[in-house]
Amino acid sequence: MATTKAIPAAVSDKTSDTAQQAAKTPLQLISQGACLPGIPRHPSFTAQRQWILEQMALAFRVFARKDYTDGMAGHISVRDPENPHTFWTNPLAVHFGILKASDMILVNYEGMPIGGNMSRPANAAGFLIHSAVHKARPDVEAACHTHSPHGMAWSAFGRPLEMLTQDAAYLYGDAQAVYQEFGGVVLTEEEGNRIGAALGPTGKGMILQNHGLLTVGSTVSEACFLMTLMERACQCQLLAEAAAANGLEKIYIPDESARYTFENSSEPETLYWEGQPDLQFEEYMSKGEHQK
């Protein structure tokens, strides 16, 4: 008579838990209870466009509150939902903290303003960077570039962020790139194209050596959150380097754990919701001013 070896309850439970986790999306895994809804979609291009522009205005206000402003530098671009070979961006020399949906400019790939706020120019360097990114990466809907303090400081080393924290693991592997060919202010198409190519086919964030940070995403919220995440990760890296210089040993996240964190955190729906708390706060503080 054949006998069946009993599987210990602890092993059986662990196998069952692993199978259940594998069947869930990252957003379902982070939602204890009813899952957060997916990324909003609107019934018309007009409604989707207005929502995108309002999200842009809120993202700029997040950057202003977090002190990422630097003169005329810094920009966000977002593809138009109806005409994906055009994108919206911010006007030159307007403070991030006062931007509204109606301030944004629609430009085509040739650099011509074709809609929105035509009373001010766009940032030429911003256009060259963002147009190259959107051309190189059809999957990218939104891109952010800032001269944030810790991002600029870490960019001086021309090195990627190390897997020192859970936040840094959101940029594990090919999700992070470094552009090491700083050629001054981006005023040529060639330089913009090199930056676009350096991001690679799967990059989510890039350190521009001696310059600043660039992030991309499928929504404004995702790209905005990744910018704030990269800036914090640069700050943590600099603090860790200072401590290590005084004799403390850095402990790195094991590769398997970093990959696991990335795979279960760094996808569009989860990153959209990661960005929402900051955008919600700015919406509350603006009292609807961003919608105008």
Give residue-wise pLDDT tens across range 220-243: 999 999 999 999 999 999 999 999
What is the structure's pLDDT at 4?
A: 39
Looking from the CA of 52 toward its CB, the CA atoms found within 13 Å total 29
Residue 210 is which amino acid?
Answer: N
Model-level pTM? Answer: 0.91
pLDDT above 70 for 11? no
Determine the pLDDT at residue 254: 98
Q: How far is CA 238 from CA 68, 76, 163, 182, 280, in A?
A: 17, 26, 13, 21, 29
Find, among 159, 170, 236, 235, the residue nearest to 203 by Cα.
Answer: 170
The answer on pLDDT for 198 being more than 70 is yes
- The structural domains of the chain, with segments of one domain joined by +, span 41-286
Quote the pLDDT of residue 184: 77
Distances (CA, A) of 60 to 56, 75, 192, 199: 6, 8, 22, 22
Q: Which residues pair with 113 in a beta bridge?
A: 107
Residues whose CB falls within 8 Å of the CB of residue 65, separated by 6 or more in sequence, listed in order: 97, 282
41-286: CATH topology is L-fuculose-1-phosphate Aldolase (3.40.225)
- Which pLDDT belongs to residue 186? 81
Burial bucket for residue 78 (CB in 10 Å: 0-12, 13-18, 19+): buried
Tokens of residue 5, six digits? 């070896």
Task: For residue 84, give both structure tokens.
Answer: 């994906």
Query: Do strands 205-208 and 212-217 pair parallel, antiparallel, or not at all (unpaired)?
Result: antiparallel
Cβ atoms of residues 267 and 26 within 8 Å: yes
- For 146-204, the DSSP string reads E--HHHHHHHTTT-PPPS-STTGGGG-GGGEEEE----SS--SHHHHHHHHHHTTTT-S
